[in-house]
Amino acid sequence: MKMFLTGGTGFIGSHFLRQALNEGHHIMALRRSSASTPRIPLKQDPQWLDRPMDEVTAEDLKGYHVLVHLAAHTGNVPYDTLANCLRWNLMSTLALFEQARLAGIRRFVVAGSCFEYGKSGEHYQAIPTNAPLLPTNSYAASKAAASIALTQWAEEHQLSLDILRVFHVFGEGEAESRLWPTLRRAALAGVDVPMTAGEQIRDFLSVEDVAMAFLAKAVEPGTPEEGARIFNLSSGKCYTLRAFAEYWWQEWKAQGSLIFGKIPYRQGEIMQYAPGPRLLLTRGSKRS
């Protein structure tokens, strides 16, 4: 299958590329410049298109069967301003999708975020996909706005659109400032890790499984009659951050200590993100 991919040098996108290329799919992958490289080694390269997302034309997209959108602007702390997040995560995305529509693409698969739910996480034991979107930061607000706008756009033009709201991903190629790489680095160095009390409840997903789920969706034919669909992409198993950290600490036979309660929770921290009806992963768990 011929796929157009955004975010191919990112965390999830790099794993998507590895899997899709290994399966023999033809991928045109968008990147900002030739200096951008995938987070993990690839046995082969896709066809790269080097330009900003809002400068892609219908001519660039002709002949492709599906657009897989994994790119995101400042998905990690510190988040950019709301104006910049809206520019890239909403307006530039919508402009790209419109060029794809003009090029004849009728199938779209998009990475959403569990953070779109925001404060709704506090009101549901299991968050349904139709829960109110109550984001608590600029990145999440822009992704929520994109979900609403793209759903309306797909309905207006009778296009097939799947939005997969991804819960908490970890694994090879993850930003070094995030929890799993921080734990691994400290475990290998034999040093302690100061943490919060670790009572936050999360659904942890291995990045390989997330990439597999996006690829499975990308190769689905999809029909305009289906319209826009939203899924919670999760492992189906929730753990506290403390349990997640303790599992990997033991797995790596770490010599240091996890010091829980040393760091305060972030202001406005949502203590529970537990997905409701979900797109289950076949292998997903905290143990990858």
Contact 103, 61 (CB under 8 A): yes
Q: Domain for residue 211, yes or no?
A: yes
In a domain, 71, yes or no: yes
Same domain, 157 and 118: yes
Are 118 and 142 in the same domain?
Answer: yes
In the chain, how many domains are there?
A: 2
CB 66 within 8 A of CB 221: no
Answer yes or no: is 281 within a domain: no
Alpha helices in the chain, H assignment, sequence order:
11-22, 58-61, 82-86, 92-102, 138-157, 179-189, 207-219, 241-251
Region 1-15 average pLDDT: 98
Query: How many Å apart are CA 56 and CA 71, to the nearest integer?
Result: 14
Q: Are residues 127 and 192 in the same domain?
A: no
Do 250 and 115 lie in one domain? The reply is no
Model pLDDT for residues 240-262, shown as the tens digit of each residue: 999 999 999 999 999 999 999 99
Domain that includes residue 194, residue range: 174-202+237-274
In a domain, 283, yes or no: no
One domain for residues 151 and 196: no
Which pLDDT value is given to residue 236? 87
- What is residue 139's three-state secondary structure? helix
The CATH number for 246's domain is 3.90.25.10
Q: Are 142 and 75 in contact (CB under 8 A)?
A: no
Mean pLDDT in residue range 170-187: 97
- pLDDT reading at 187 higher than 50: yes
Percent of the chain at pLDDT exceeding 90: 89
143 with 213, same domain: the answer is yes
**In this structure, are 214 and 264 located in the same domain?**
no
Is residue 131 domain-shared with residue 12, that is, in the same domain? yes
Does residue 126 share a domain with residue 12?
yes
Lowest average pLDDT, out of 121-135, 140-154, 217-231, goes to 217-231
Same domain, yes or no: 159 and 22: yes
Answer yes or no: is 108 within a domain: yes
Query: 253 and 160, same structural domain?
Result: no
Going by pLDDT thresholds of 50, 70 and 90, the confidence category of residue 280 is low
Sign of CA dihedral 91, 97, 102, 103: positive
286 occurs within a structural domain: no
Query: Is residue 112 assigned to a domain?
Result: yes
We report the CATH number of the domain holding residue 152 as: 3.40.50.720
The pLDDT mean for the chain works out to 94
**CA atoms within 13 Å, Cβ hemisphere of 11:** 23
**At residue 288, does pLDDT exceed 60?**
no
DSSP state of 89: I
Q: What pLDDT digit, counting tens, does each position of 65-78 carry?
A: 999 999 999 999 89
Q: Is residue 259 part of a domain?
A: yes
Look at strands 160-166 and 193-194 and give their pairing.
Answer: unpaired
pLDDT in tens, 27-40: 999 999 988 999 99
This prediction's pTM: 0.94
pLDDT at 281: 52
DSSP state of 195: -
Q: Are 231 and 164 in contact (CB under 8 A)?
A: yes
Shared domain for 134 and 242, answered yes or no, is no
Residue 245's Cβ-count burial label (10 Å; 0-12, 13-18, 19+) is buried
